[in-house]
Structure 1
């Protein structure tokens, strides 16, 4: 069974998992790779157990939001005592649990169904949020341990300057797009949007530029240093301000984005284990979006602001 991430002896296994992210979120644990989000972009509606253990706690928390989109006023925190390391707790959020406290779970066992939490932004897709903690921090916002992604292999592909997408779906909050094959970079089994970083090429993982920070996944031995520029489409979009086990942390620049004249708040770039590399384009409020399914569109940059 494939392992997609780990923290010490605790492993997170791939089970109906095609899209995930360490950095595409405004919340603190995502600022240093202390949480992983597992996305439901292919309409999967049941979240399977990704790490074996025993349910030791379930708590309902308020998640009311003033943001104008349909959402649940409550969220759920589910705690799993790891079978691989009983001294650690796997904390799951944004999943309404089917399971009960005391139950033992194997990988693949249904845990619950995803819900649209009030903690989300309007453009946020359904996902499960996982953190690994010591018991003292299980119900606290901080104290998440760094998560290492299982990324092996060399980089395949180039960080191209002409970035093209194929439109998959359009709704009121975002445009779901597939990154065209020639724009895709592969690192082991992981695929995504390629960037130049220092003397290397990596895969972008972030909400750019709206979350102001993000990450880049790198091959072992990549030549990257603190302060190195990160370039997307030939434009500097950020600089390296730290490192994780298999990547770099990045502070993002303020860059204006457009797609075929549609002004964007930003793009959501995450990591794919699928042949398809799906991403999201987030239009600015009030923008008229008339893209059609299957249409090829181009990402444009404007560092001086919108025209």
Structure 2
């Protein structure tokens, strides 16, 4: 387990350990960090070991190549993705230094904002493989936000909408959608294979969204049930879940080809299949 300290997380407006379909995030073995601007800032200090361009899945909204930056932190090798490097092997970087511009990668969906992907390997492990990173822990308390499933569309993109609820009562502290008493839900519900909770639970526990059960958490991992998320009664792809400290927190609905517009009132519900 590698812990990302509060001082590092404070440089980003949001983070997610489980909101990804790719092996690198299995069991919370990576964290996606969302800066305020498109400048990809380093979440670690150390020496750049290598940079490498990799072909990304072809998507109409994405660049053809993604990038891997490897940084020796002294204890581990950090793997950083989705940043076009302005650094090279041998460069020394500090936490917060600019590594380059973030890119829109085919490795994440069109509803996902640009972000810095961070994972860690033991020094003797192969750092180029997608799978095999160490579990990541975040050293911050997270506040569960209760939600009744309703809200007004604040932002509408081609493949998603963001509601104005639940409201973040204390911007600057970390909060996420409540899954159970004292627990925050993370991940893509149910469109990614699994999700997660913060903090970890000692025993298998049902987790819910807006009062509707969506799955079961065991430790940090969540197994989604056979559920369909609906918005105003119509099936949508799901909910994009994360932890945030910015005032613009709100439920993010993944719904390609939607016809919602800013100002529309929405009620979200979950139906068991």
TM-score w.r.t. the length of structure 1 is 0.79
Does residue 1:171 correspond to 2:157, yes or no?
yes
Q: How far 1:179 sits from its partner (Å)?
A: 2.7
Q: Which residue of 1 aligns with 2:208?
A: 231
Counting matched residue pairs gives 271
Q: Which residue of 2 aligns with 1:20?
A: 15
Q: Which residue of 1 aligns with 2:183?
A: 202
- CA distance in 2: counterparts of 1:10 and 1:291, whole angstroms: 38
- CA distance in 1: counterparts of 2:71 and 2:26, whole angstroms: 23
- Give the 5 Å matches for 1:31-42: 31-40=26-35, 42=36
Q: Which has the higher contact order (CA 8 A, sep 6+)?
A: 2
Q: Which residue of 2 aligns with 1:145?
A: 134
- CA distance in 1: counterparts of 2:132 and 2:209, whole angstroms: 32
- Does the aligned pair in 2 maintain the 1:97–1:112 contact within 8 Å? yes
- CA distance in 1: counterparts of 2:144 and 2:23, whole angstroms: 31
Residues 41-97 of structure 1: per-residue CA shift (max 9 Å, x gap): x5x1101122111111001111132x4x32111111001111xxx141111001101
What SS does structure 2 have at the residue aligned with 1:211?
coil
- CA distance in 2: counterparts of 1:25 and 1:64, whole angstroms: 14
- CA distance in 2: counterparts of 1:277 and 1:9, whole angstroms: 22
Q: How far 1:122 sits from its partner (Å)?
A: 2.6
- Does the aligned pair in 2 maintain the 1:212–1:253 contact within 8 Å? no
- CA distance in 1: counterparts of 2:258 and 2:18, whole angstroms: 29
Q: How far 1:16 sits from its partner (Å)?
A: 3.4
Q: How far 1:215 sits from its partner (Å)?
A: 0.6
Q: Which residue of 2 aligns with 1:3?
A: none
- Does the aligned pair in 1 maintain the 2:2–2:137 contact within 8 Å? yes
RMSD between superposed Cα atoms in Å: 2.6
Change (3 A) 1:142 1:46: same
Q: How far 1:295 sits from its partner (Å)?
A: 4.2
Which of 91, 107, 110 is the aligned partner of 1:103? 91
Q: How far 1:120 sits from its partner (Å)?
A: 1.8
Runs of 4+ in 1 over 4 A off after TM superposition: 8-12
Which of 256, 259, 267 is the aligned partner of 2:228? 256
- Give the 5 Å matches for 1:72-151: 72-82=63-73, 86-135=74-123, 136-151=125-140
- Does the aligned pair in 2 maintain the 1:185–1:194 contact within 8 Å? no
Q: How far 1:251 sits from its partner (Å)?
A: 0.2
- CA distance in 1: counterparts of 2:3 and 2:10, whole angstroms: 20
> Structure 2: any 5+ residue segments left out of the alignment?
none
Q: Which residue of 2 aligns with 1:291?
A: 261
Change (3 A) 1:254 1:56: same
TM-score w.r.t. the length of structure 2 is 0.88
- CA distance in 1: counterparts of 2:195 and 2:155, whole angstroms: 25
Q: How far 1:278 sits from its partner (Å)?
A: 3.8
Change (3 A) 1:15 1:214: same
